[in-house]
Structure 1
Amino acid sequence: MHPNQIFRETDSERNHTMLASAGFGALVVNGDDVPHVAHIPYHYDRVTGQVAFHLVRSNPIARVLAKSDGRATLIINGPHGYISPDWYGVDDQVPTWNYVAIHATGSVAVLPDDQLEPILNRLSDHFEADLLPKPIWKMSKLTEDVKIRMMRQIVPCVMQVDMIDGTWKLGQNKADAVRLAAAKQLRDSGDGSDPQQLADLMEQAT
């Protein structure tokens, strides 16, 4: 997280919204010598504060968690992009990178195998809903032997989130006119990850 508090938000509504909408992130768990990282699709339930996901059974994180529950951080990258100093319209500026990043931290556990199918259904229902009006894919479309074979390879997991920290670096340290000028140039350039959303956020920043 950025050390400048002007860019920081803790447990804000839009941190929760970004976590819920992203659906994909990097899970980081302490290892013996280096951190273990897994890139995971997930579903965040705002009511329960739980992140549901699954890991390949051979993943080092799954092996660590199978021995004992642990702490982890889920890292979400929101829109981000390069900001040229030429875009501000004033002198003596330097290049920078504006971005949104969310860190969700909590306790993680591997669940019993009988919880795997409900979690898989929860994940697929969540992501398939974005594809409507296409009929939602269901696990019932799989033959039983294929389903069993696939499910043997993965383990169900859940993170109970107890802290959500966010960096929303959107040029809040700049004068309004300067920040808005950069947002317009970013929008016109089309550069970066989702420049339109990042430009929107820069225009809304205070």
Structure 2
Amino acid sequence: MHPNPAFRKRSEAEALDFASARGFGIITAKGPDGPLASHVPFLLADGRAEGHFVRSTALARALAKGPLDALLIVSGPDGYISPDWYGEADKVPTWNYLAVHLRGTLRLAPEIDMRGHVDRLSARFEHALLPKTPWTSAKMDQDLMARMMRTIVPWELSVTGVESTFKFNQNRGAKAREGAAAALAAGGTPGMETASLAALMRAADDEH
């Protein structure tokens, strides 16, 4: 997380809302031979994240031996900021971004609710595609579905700490921030979802 307090003023509730809405991140933990990481979709509610791993992944194998301290990293839009866009002298390049870190205890969840987990996860993302008729596991051949379910294991993360960085040039004046946002919105700049980043920058309060 960035140490500048200008980028650390969002509430824990705002950070959790962003992470929940994003629903995809990197979960990391220390394994017996070094750091482990998996890219995962997840559900987040009431201080608990849930997801699943392919049974043969290193994290799943490590968790079979017991719970682990873990970090779930959720990233949002990001982009390179050229100092030329500020319209001010003697500034340096930077990178704007949104990120949330969820710390907690990671463990395997009871497999008895594996089907319920899969259905909750797919329903959450299918809802975003309305008015498309949602996909459900009931559309699957049930023998095939059962075989596929045996290849995954559910996990849960009990969240004990939340940190976030919303780095939108809040340490610059409104004119400088708008210059950078306009360049990002025009496209063709290094980064991901730069138009969304520009919108977030324009909505940011001037906290400098």
TM-score of the superposed pair, with normalisation by structure 1: 0.93
State the number of aligned residues. 204
SS of the residue 1:25 aligns to: strand
Aligned counterpart, 1:202: 201
Given the superposition, is the C-alpha separation of residues 25 and 18 from structure 1 closer, same or farther in structure 2, using an over 3 Å criterion?
same
Report 1:9-158 matches (<5 A).
9=9, 11-45=11-45, 48-158=46-156
**1-structure distance, mates of 2:183, 2:146:** 52
C-alpha contact (below 8 Å) 1:11/1:163 kept by paired residues: no
Given the superposition, is the C-alpha separation of residues 10 and 87 from structure 1 closer, same or farther in structure 2, using an over 3 Å criterion?
closer
Quick one: which of 179, 182, 195 aligns to 1:181? 179
C-alpha contact (below 8 Å) 1:102/1:166 kept by paired residues: yes
1:9: how far off?
Answer: 4.3
**1-structure distance, mates of 2:181, 2:136:** 42
**2-structure distance, mates of 1:91, 1:153:** 57
| Identical-pair percentage | 41
1:179: how far off?
Answer: 1.6
SS of the residue 1:182 aligns to: helix
1:10: how far off?
Answer: 6.5
Letter in 1 for 2:64: A
SS of the residue 1:67 aligns to: coil
SS of the residue 1:39 aligns to: strand
Provide structure 2 residue ranges, at least 5 long, that are not aligned to the other structure: none
1:39: how far off?
Answer: 0.4
1:120: how far off?
Answer: 0.3
SS of the residue 1:171 aligns to: coil
Provide structure 1 residue ranges, at least 5 long, that are not aligned to the other structure: none
**2-structure distance, mates of 1:121, 1:108:** 21
